[in-house]
Amino acid sequence: MENPEDFAEESHPSSELVKVCSLAELPPGTRKVVPLSIGNVLLLNIEGEIFAISSICPHAGGHFEYGCLEGYTIECPLHYWPFDVHSGTLIGMNQVSFLDYQLDTYPVQLHDSQIYLKLARHS
């Protein structure tokens, strides 16, 4: 795909691709916080797979950049709640009272060794 913006326009008119950094800036096993209009987003490179999640915990504001990562699970450093970086769901807490705590995740695309996030377009 030559032009990522064209791709976003064609496939999801309500979304846009935003370039956040190069792949070289996020080698496997590293993480990086990028400030965006929607707030800070945490990028994770897990064995070459890139994930993008809100850097702030939906429970009480813990910063995931300091959280422990185990496989595809990131643990909030404040109260140790574990979230799945694929879906953003809270793991192992099925009570209704926990269902509201959904971590925001963002689709990632790679173009020419650059990392793009697909974000909802604001009009």
Give residues in contact with ligand FES (CB under 6 A).
Answer: 57, 59-62, 76, 78-79, 81
- Read off the tokens for 14: 């309500």
- Other residues' Cβ atoms within 10 Å of the Cβ of residue 115: 23
Structural contact between residues 31 and 45, judged by C-beta atoms closer than 8 angstroms: yes
Least distance to ligand FES, CB of residue 31, Å: 16
- Other residues' Cβ atoms within 10 Å of the Cβ of residue 79: 10
H-type alpha helices, the chain:
4-11
Nearer to ligand FES, 1 or 60 (CB): 60
Nearer to ligand FES, 9 or 65 (CB): 65
Nearer to ligand FES, 103 or 117 (CB): 103
Least distance to ligand FES, CB of residue 106, Å: 19
- Read off the tokens for 2: 């030559």
Least distance to ligand FES, CB of residue 55, Å: 11
